[in-house]
Amino acid sequence: MGLNRKRVVCRLQVGRVSLPQVEEFKYLGVLFTSEGKMEREIDGLRWGVTREELGVEPLLLHIERNQFRWLGHLFRMPLGHLPGEVFRACPTGRRPRGRPRTCWRDYVSQLAWQRLGVHLEELEDVSGSLELFAETAAPVTR
């Protein structure tokens, strides 16, 4: 893209409205300047303000809410239903060498401790209040 470095005054009119000439503008996440530079916008603060203005929650908070919602379903599931049984199961036997994979149960118990201050043993007792968390939780910066 060839841009002339010489400053040019352009009048832009849409209908009867005359638009002002600007030194820079943002289009599809790229900042275009009057000097002909194109810089990719990576400033998180501007995206955060836009997200707040649009009323869209952060993706991580949305995912965590859904995980707590599913956890509540698992706790309320009657005995004999496969997802609840798999969640409550404690497998025995040898594991492969190396670092063990993080299972979902361990992840969600750590998440409950960070967000709610509740241990794994107490999760089932507070499963009714997990929906309350889904309405009031604030994102944690990582």
pLDDT tens-digit readout, 68-86: 889 888 888 888 999 988 8
User: Which one-letter amino acid corresponds to residue 116?
Assistant: L
One domain, residues 80 and 18: no
One domain, residues 64 and 18: no
One domain, residues 108 and 84: yes
Q: Is the dihedral of CA 130, 131, 133, 138 positive or negative?
A: positive
One domain, residues 67 and 132: yes
One domain, residues 44 and 72: no
Q: Which residues of 75-86 are buried (b: 16+ CB within 10 A; e: fewer)?
A: beeeeeeeebee
Query: How many CA atoms lie within 13 Å of 92's alpha carbon, on the beta-carbon side?
Result: 0
Residue 89 has pLDDT above 80, yes or no: yes
Question: In terms of pTM, does the model score above 0.85?
Answer: no
Residue 139 has pLDDT above 60, yes or no: no
Which residues lie below 8 Å from residue 74, measured CB to CB, with a gap of 6+? 83, 84, 87
Identify the bridge partners of residue 13 per DSSP, sorted by sequence position: 18
Report pLDDT for 141: 47
pLDDT, tens only, 12-55: 888 888 888 888 877 776 777 777 666 655 555 465 567 777 77
* Residue 21 lies in domain: 12-53
One domain, residues 63 and 115: yes
Cβ atoms 72, 116 nearer than 8 A: no
